[in-house]
Protein backbone atom coordinates (compact mmCIF):
# COMPACT_ATOMS: atom_id res chain seq x y z
CA UNK A 1 0.00 0.00 0.00
CA UNK A 2 1.22 3.46 -0.87
CA UNK A 3 2.55 5.73 1.87
CA UNK A 4 -0.09 8.44 1.99
CA UNK A 5 1.33 11.97 1.92
CA UNK A 6 -1.67 13.48 0.14
CA UNK A 7 -2.78 15.61 3.10
CA UNK A 8 0.70 17.12 3.32
CA UNK A 9 0.56 18.28 -0.30
CA UNK A 10 -3.12 19.28 -0.31
CA UNK A 11 -2.13 22.72 0.87
CA UNK A 12 -2.72 26.31 -0.22
CA UNK A 13 1.00 27.07 -0.42
CA UNK A 14 1.43 24.32 -3.02
CA UNK A 15 -1.76 24.96 -5.03
CA UNK A 16 -1.69 28.30 -6.81
CA UNK A 17 -5.06 30.00 -6.81
CA UNK A 18 -6.32 27.99 -3.84
CA UNK A 19 -7.23 24.37 -3.23
CA UNK A 20 -10.74 24.66 -4.67
CA UNK A 21 -9.29 25.45 -8.10
CA UNK A 22 -7.63 22.03 -8.26
CA UNK A 23 -10.42 19.84 -6.90
CA UNK A 24 -12.50 17.56 -9.15
CA UNK A 25 -15.80 15.72 -8.89
CA UNK A 26 -14.70 12.28 -10.01
CA UNK A 27 -18.28 11.21 -10.67
CA UNK A 28 -18.31 13.85 -13.40
CA UNK A 29 -14.66 13.34 -14.44
CA UNK A 30 -13.80 9.63 -14.19
CA UNK A 31 -10.26 8.37 -14.66
CA UNK A 32 -9.62 7.06 -18.16
CA UNK A 33 -5.87 6.42 -18.13
CA UNK A 34 -2.64 6.25 -16.15
CA UNK A 35 0.48 8.04 -17.42
CA UNK A 36 3.92 6.77 -16.41
CA UNK A 37 6.76 9.30 -16.10
CA UNK A 38 10.33 9.43 -14.86
CA UNK A 39 12.08 12.32 -13.15
CA UNK A 40 14.93 12.28 -15.69
CA UNK A 41 17.62 12.90 -13.09
CA UNK A 42 16.15 16.11 -11.71
CA UNK A 43 15.93 16.95 -8.01
CA UNK A 44 19.28 15.55 -6.90
CA UNK A 45 21.74 12.67 -7.27
CA UNK A 46 20.40 9.15 -7.88
CA UNK A 47 18.80 7.29 -4.98
CA UNK A 48 19.36 3.54 -4.85
CA UNK A 49 17.43 0.65 -3.44
CA UNK A 50 19.03 1.34 -0.04
CA UNK A 51 17.78 4.94 0.22
CA UNK A 52 16.03 5.92 3.44
CA UNK A 53 12.48 7.12 3.66
CA UNK A 54 13.83 10.46 4.91
CA UNK A 55 15.93 10.88 1.74
CA UNK A 56 12.96 10.00 -0.44
CA UNK A 57 10.62 12.43 1.29
CA UNK A 58 13.22 15.18 0.90
CA UNK A 59 13.31 14.43 -2.82
CA UNK A 60 9.52 14.67 -3.03
CA UNK A 61 9.64 18.06 -1.28
CA UNK A 62 12.16 19.30 -3.86
CA UNK A 63 9.94 18.04 -6.65
CA UNK A 64 6.90 19.73 -5.09
CA UNK A 65 8.62 23.10 -4.79
CA UNK A 66 9.83 22.96 -8.38
CA UNK A 67 6.46 21.92 -9.82
CA UNK A 68 4.62 24.56 -7.84
CA UNK A 69 6.96 27.24 -9.16
CA UNK A 70 6.68 26.05 -12.77
CA UNK A 71 3.16 24.64 -13.05
CA UNK A 72 1.20 26.01 -10.10
CA UNK A 73 0.81 22.75 -8.17
CA UNK A 74 3.31 20.54 -6.41
CA UNK A 75 3.92 17.75 -6.91
CA UNK A 76 2.48 17.58 -10.41
CA UNK A 77 2.09 13.80 -10.09
CA UNK A 78 -0.29 11.73 -8.00
CA UNK A 79 2.21 8.97 -7.13
CA UNK A 80 6.00 8.76 -6.85
CA UNK A 81 7.81 5.40 -6.92
CA UNK A 82 11.39 4.84 -5.75
CA UNK A 83 14.06 2.16 -6.39
CA UNK A 84 13.67 1.08 -2.76
CA UNK A 85 10.22 -0.26 -3.60
CA UNK A 86 8.46 2.44 -1.61
CA UNK A 87 5.48 4.09 -3.24
CA UNK A 88 4.14 7.46 -2.13
CA UNK A 89 0.70 8.88 -2.85
CA UNK A 90 1.35 12.62 -3.08
CA UNK A 91 -1.67 13.99 -4.93
CA UNK A 92 -5.28 13.26 -4.07
CA UNK A 93 -7.07 11.31 -6.81
CA UNK A 94 -9.82 13.93 -6.70
CA UNK A 95 -7.47 16.67 -7.92
CA UNK A 96 -6.21 17.54 -11.38
CA UNK A 97 -2.48 18.09 -11.51
CA UNK A 98 0.31 18.99 -13.96
CA UNK A 99 1.98 15.96 -15.50
CA UNK A 100 0.82 15.59 -19.11
CA UNK A 101 0.06 18.38 -21.59
CA UNK A 102 -2.78 18.35 -24.08
CA UNK A 103 -6.09 16.53 -24.33
CA UNK A 104 -7.55 13.07 -24.74
CA UNK A 105 -8.39 12.62 -28.46
CA UNK A 106 -11.50 10.62 -27.58
CA UNK A 107 -13.08 13.14 -25.22
CA UNK A 108 -11.32 16.47 -25.80
CA UNK A 109 -10.73 16.72 -22.05
CA UNK A 110 -7.28 17.58 -20.66
CA UNK A 111 -5.18 14.59 -19.70
CA UNK A 112 -4.37 16.28 -16.39
CA UNK A 113 -8.05 15.82 -15.55
CA UNK A 114 -8.69 12.36 -16.99
CA UNK A 115 -5.40 10.66 -16.09
CA UNK A 116 -3.42 9.87 -12.98
CA UNK A 117 0.31 10.62 -13.15
CA UNK A 118 2.82 8.12 -11.72
CA UNK A 119 6.48 9.15 -11.57
CA UNK A 120 9.48 6.84 -11.22
CA UNK A 121 12.28 8.73 -9.48
CA UNK A 122 15.44 8.38 -11.54
CA UNK A 123 16.68 8.73 -15.11
CA UNK A 124 15.70 5.69 -17.17
CA UNK A 125 16.67 7.08 -20.57
CA UNK A 126 20.29 8.26 -20.66
CA UNK A 127 23.12 5.76 -21.01
CA UNK A 128 25.02 5.12 -17.80
CA UNK A 129 22.19 6.26 -15.56
CA UNK A 130 19.63 4.32 -13.53
CA UNK A 131 18.38 0.79 -14.11
CA UNK A 132 14.88 -0.09 -12.87
CA UNK A 133 15.20 -2.13 -9.69
CA UNK A 134 12.77 -4.94 -8.85
CA UNK A 135 11.49 -2.70 -6.07
CA UNK A 136 10.77 0.14 -8.47
CA UNK A 137 8.87 -2.16 -10.80
CA UNK A 138 6.82 -3.51 -7.91
CA UNK A 139 6.03 0.01 -6.70
CA UNK A 140 4.82 1.04 -10.16
CA UNK A 141 2.71 -2.12 -10.44
CA UNK A 142 1.27 -1.37 -7.00
CA UNK A 143 0.31 2.15 -8.08
CA UNK A 144 -1.42 0.84 -11.21
CA UNK A 145 -3.31 -1.79 -9.24
CA UNK A 146 -4.44 0.79 -6.67
CA UNK A 147 -5.59 3.27 -9.34
CA UNK A 148 -7.49 0.66 -11.31
CA UNK A 149 -9.25 -0.28 -8.09
CA UNK A 150 -10.80 3.17 -7.60
CA UNK A 151 -14.57 3.15 -8.13
CA UNK A 152 -14.22 6.11 -10.51
CA UNK A 153 -11.58 4.49 -12.76
CA UNK A 154 -13.09 3.17 -15.99
CA UNK A 155 -12.56 -0.56 -16.65
CA UNK A 156 -9.51 -1.35 -18.72
CA UNK A 157 -7.87 2.04 -18.15
CA UNK A 158 -4.59 1.87 -20.11
CA UNK A 159 -1.13 2.82 -18.90
CA UNK A 160 0.63 5.17 -21.33
CA UNK A 161 4.27 6.16 -21.32
CA UNK A 162 4.32 9.95 -21.15
CA UNK A 163 5.92 10.39 -24.57
CA UNK A 164 3.51 7.92 -26.19
CA UNK A 165 0.30 9.36 -24.80
CA UNK A 166 -2.12 10.04 -27.68
CA UNK A 167 -2.80 13.77 -27.49
CA UNK A 168 -4.58 16.58 -29.31
CA UNK A 169 -4.67 20.34 -28.79
CA UNK A 170 -7.75 22.49 -28.19
CA UNK A 171 -8.55 22.41 -31.93
CA UNK A 172 -8.41 18.60 -32.03
CA UNK A 173 -5.16 18.48 -34.00
CA UNK A 174 -2.47 15.93 -33.05
CA UNK A 175 -0.07 17.25 -30.41
CA UNK A 176 3.18 15.31 -29.95
CA UNK A 177 4.37 15.02 -26.36
CA UNK A 178 7.93 15.45 -27.67
CA UNK A 179 9.62 13.58 -24.83
CA UNK A 180 11.30 10.19 -24.34
CA UNK A 181 9.75 9.96 -20.86
CA UNK A 182 9.50 7.52 -19.04
CA UNK A 183 12.77 6.38 -20.60
CA UNK A 184 13.73 3.42 -22.76
CA UNK A 185 14.51 1.23 -19.76
CA UNK A 186 10.98 1.59 -18.38
CA UNK A 187 9.06 1.37 -21.66
CA UNK A 188 9.15 -2.47 -21.72
CA UNK A 189 7.21 -2.47 -18.44
CA UNK A 190 4.23 -0.91 -20.23
CA UNK A 191 3.44 -4.18 -22.02
CA UNK A 192 3.21 -5.97 -18.68
CA UNK A 193 1.08 -3.24 -17.12
CA UNK A 194 -1.36 -3.37 -20.04
CA UNK A 195 -1.59 -7.15 -20.24
CA UNK A 196 -5.21 -8.25 -19.65
CA UNK A 197 -5.73 -9.74 -16.22
CA UNK A 198 -6.33 -13.49 -16.08
CA UNK A 199 -10.00 -14.24 -15.45
CA UNK A 200 -10.91 -15.23 -11.92
CA UNK A 201 -12.38 -18.70 -12.30
CA UNK A 202 -12.43 -19.64 -8.62
CA UNK A 203 -16.14 -18.91 -8.30
CA UNK A 204 -16.98 -20.94 -11.38
CA UNK A 205 -14.89 -23.88 -10.17
CA UNK A 206 -16.58 -23.76 -6.78
CA UNK A 207 -20.00 -23.83 -8.45
CA UNK A 208 -18.99 -26.79 -10.62
CA UNK A 209 -17.70 -28.70 -7.58
CA UNK A 210 -20.89 -27.96 -5.63
CA UNK A 211 -23.05 -29.18 -8.53
CA UNK A 212 -20.97 -32.35 -8.89
CA UNK A 213 -21.26 -33.07 -5.16
CA UNK A 214 -25.02 -32.56 -5.31
CA UNK A 215 -25.32 -35.02 -8.20
CA UNK A 216 -23.17 -37.55 -6.35
CA UNK A 217 -25.39 -37.25 -3.24
CA UNK A 218 -28.50 -37.86 -5.33
CA UNK A 219 -26.94 -40.92 -6.95
CA UNK A 220 -25.95 -42.31 -3.55
CA UNK A 221 -29.45 -41.77 -2.21
CA UNK A 222 -31.11 -43.46 -5.19
Report the C-alpha gap between 104 and 195 in whole angstroms. 22
20 confidence band (pLDDT: 50, 70, 90): very high
Q: In this predicted structure, what is the pLDDT of residue 45? A: 86
Cβ burial, residue 174 (10 Å; 0-12/13-18/19+): exposed
pLDDT digits (tens, 9 = 90+) for 110-165: 999 999 999 999 999 987 778 899 999 999 999 999 999 999 999 999 999 999 99
Class of domain 3-221: alpha beta
Q: How confident is the model at residue 214 (pLDDT cuts 50, 70, 90)?
A: low
Q: Nearest Cα to 22, choosing from 90, 112, 103?
A: 112
Residue 38 has pLDDT above 60, yes or no: yes
Q: 162-192: per-residue pLDDT in tens?
A: 999 999 999 999 999 999 999 999 999 999 9
Note the pLDDT of residue 129.
77
State how far the alpha carbon of 203 is from the alpha carbons of 28, 114, 200, in Å.
Answer: 33, 33, 7
**pLDDT at 199 exceeding the cut of 70:** no
Task: Determine the pLDDT at residue 155.
Answer: 96
SS3 sequence, the chain? Answer: CCEECHHHHCCHHHECCCHHHHECCCCCCCECEEEEEECCCCCCCCCCCCCCHHHHHHHHHHHHHHHHHHHCECCCCCEEECCCCCEEECCCCCECCCCCCCECCCCCCEHHHHEEEEEECCCCCCCCCCCCCHHHHHHHHHHHHHHHCCCCECCCCCEEEHHHCCCECCCCCECCCCCCCCCCCCHHHHHHHCCCCCCCCHHHHHHHHHHHHHHHHHHHHC
What is the structure's pLDDT at 219?
Answer: 56
For 174, half-sphere exposure in the C-beta direction (CA atoms, 13 angstrom radius) is 5
- Each residue's pLDDT tens digit, 86-97: 999 999 999 999
Domain ranges within the chain, ordered by starting residue:
3-221
CA distance 111 to 101: 7
Amino acid sequence: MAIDLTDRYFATELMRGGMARWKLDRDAWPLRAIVLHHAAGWYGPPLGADASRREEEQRIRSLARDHHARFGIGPGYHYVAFPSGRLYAVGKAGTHRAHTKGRNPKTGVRWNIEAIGVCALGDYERTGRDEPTPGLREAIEEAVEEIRGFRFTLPGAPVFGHGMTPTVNTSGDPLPQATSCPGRRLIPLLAELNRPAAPDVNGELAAIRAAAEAIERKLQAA
